[in-house]
Structure 1
Amino acid sequence: MSNEQRRDSLADQAAAWVPPWQRPAPEQPEDLGPKPLEGHSPTKIAEVDAGEPEAAEAAEAAGAGEGAAGEKTAGSGTRRKRAARVEPEPPRMLDDAELRGALEAILLVVDEPVSELTLAQVLEQPAERVGPMLDRIAADYTSAGHGFELRRAAGGWRLYTRPEYASYVERYVLDGQSVRLTQAALETLAVVAYKQPVTRSRISAIRGVNCDGVIRTLVSRGLVEECGTETDSGAYLYRTTVMFLEKLGLNSLDDLPPLAPFLPDDVEELADATR
């Protein structure tokens, strides 16, 4: 190539040269990455590609939630109905014959008087039915002449043997062994029953002898118990127990026999002499 031709070629190249800032942007290659899943926007996919696995899971859950929103709304009422608590069936009402039999069965195994409310709760029956039925049972036992009777004692109901058969029962139970209270214990117990709550010094003053040992015996047998202290002296007060009512077959202390028929005629003179 001659020098003249070389100059012409260089001139053409210089005229055709374009600065880099004026050149057109090269075409972007086709995106070969994963295509957006159905229900996901490109923005969510971009966040996934940026390396955030938590965002991916959130985006996927959001997409699924948007798609199933209608189903959740439609099925929420059904789920609430299924989750509703099933109400228990009301207790079955017993007829009179079945109620009577159930009461008799329980009364045969109790070892202490049981109240009408307790019986009603155990049998799941109204207390208004239990009380009259117990009265009816007690009346039937009395009219039939059984060797036992049903009566109120210590605020409840219990079966007892009839007084006319007491000698036979004692012969069987005691078997020749005397378990009776001493005269001193009986006198002390009577003072506590009629004067309760009462202190030991008051009992000793009434009986005229020291009663500390007798009180300990009555407490150990469950017939007497402590019930606080006296305000002025701080001495212990004593009263009878529920076992006392049960053993005597009494419903309350109001059933104790009056003392007037057993008092001597000169009781006022004796009282004045002891002052």
Structure 2
Amino acid sequence: MSLLAEHTTTTAADAIERAEVAVLPTGSTEQHGPALALGMDHLAAEAFARTAVDRDDTVVLPTIPVGVSEHHRQFDGTLYVTAETFERYVEETISSLAAHGVRKAVVVNGHGGNSDALRRAARTLRDEETAFAPPWNWWDSVADVADDLFDEEGGHADAMESSLLWHLREDLVDPDALEDAEAGASEAWGESVHGAALGFDTIDFSESGAVGRPTQADPEKGARLFDAGRDQLHALLDWLVDRPLEDCWPSDHK
């Protein structure tokens, strides 16, 4: 068992001593249109992260379920914190584990709005030689698979996300609402006028809160996405386990 929160302080000492890499799931609790549960992003991140529980060389940390989601605030149920708060929380969480000796981590991220803050946190941790903690966005790891499965640009509560959650938690997807989600969706994320990026909030360009073509969703496609993402995550963990810590720091610190 490598779920840190389920250890006692006594057994945690053994798990941490064996661990080379920590896995920190991060996501959001925010609108995902009428068909998907608010917890889509953090549930996806947690599911990927928990595939590492049987590895002796990793320890899986508790999920951070609220992220940088202010751009969804007009939709009911959305929770959010500032980018600065989220960045600092992630940084300090990883720093606290580094104090126990685990100084390499993968941040398994389920929400695109967290990405900039996670990169900044990772840079700070690395520059200070506290920890090496690259963010891993699950959707980036399965882009080729998604291109084969779906005809959409997508971006939010789309066929890809809907399929994944349908595979992971069938009870949290309303298939009958996928048509309504698509009817009020935009084709792609955001809005541009003469080269200027507009659409600062999701409501500016999506009536339903969705982006893409969620009616293409299918749980079997979700299983293919999950398997592909899991394999990519474990390949990253293997690489990081084998990488000496001194090779993780900026070259000017060697």
TM-score when normalising by structure 1: 0.20
More contact order relative to length (CA 8 Å, sep ≥ 6) = 2
Structure with bigger gyration radius? 1
Q: Which has the higher helix share?
A: 1
